[in-house]
Amino acid sequence: MDDLNAERIESLKAGICGALSLSLAFSVMTLLHWFLTQQFPAVAIWQTSTLINLLFSGGVAFFSGFLFGITYRYIIRQDENSHLQEGAVLSFGLVRGLAQVDIGLKWESTLWSLGILCIESLLLFAFARFALDLAIYCQWVKPAS
């Protein structure tokens, strides 16, 4: 029973690490979008019309990062297989990015802007992976056994 509780605590730590790191990356991307939109209105990819929309998007990013952190911890376990690590980032990033593309196509957005949003999703999860790898390397989070 103690092993099960220890595993749960490590999963919670991995989830928190993933959530915080993805939220940080999301915040940076949002600020970058805002800055670029202010300086170059022609390159605006999307605009959040209300604070509620922005908070909801941030909440989704936080929750996605939490789920990614837990899943990533179990995917990598003790393996040194980089394909597993890259596959986790690719699968989570593509699911988020392609969902944005699907919604964007219904709003008749330009294809290049939707491609950028998909690439950004991949970058968000790559940043979360880097943070989780660092946390595991520093032994703040233990890989699943």
pLDDT, average across residues 128-133 = 96
Q: For residue 50, give Cα distances in angstroms to 40, 96, 102.
A: 20, 21, 21
Return the sign of the alpha-carbon dihedral for residues 28, 34, 37, 38.
negative
Q: How confident is the model at residue 96 (pLDDT cuts 50, 70, 90)?
A: very high
d(CA 69, CA 81): 17
pLDDT of residue 109: 66
Rounded Cα–Cα distance for residues 14 and 124 (Å): 16
Mean pLDDT across the stretch 107-116?
A: 73
Reported as a single tens digit per residue, the pLDDT across 32-83 is: 888 877 787 666 655 556 778 888 989 999 999 999 999 999 988 766 777 8
Give the start-to-end residue ranges of the domains of the chain.
Answer: 2-42+54-137
Give the per-residue pLDDT at 42: 64
Q: Is 143 exposed, middle or buried (0-12, 13-18, 19+ CB in 10 A)?
A: middle
pLDDT at 120: 92
In this predicted structure, the answer to whether residue 125 has a pLDDT above a threshold of 90 is yes
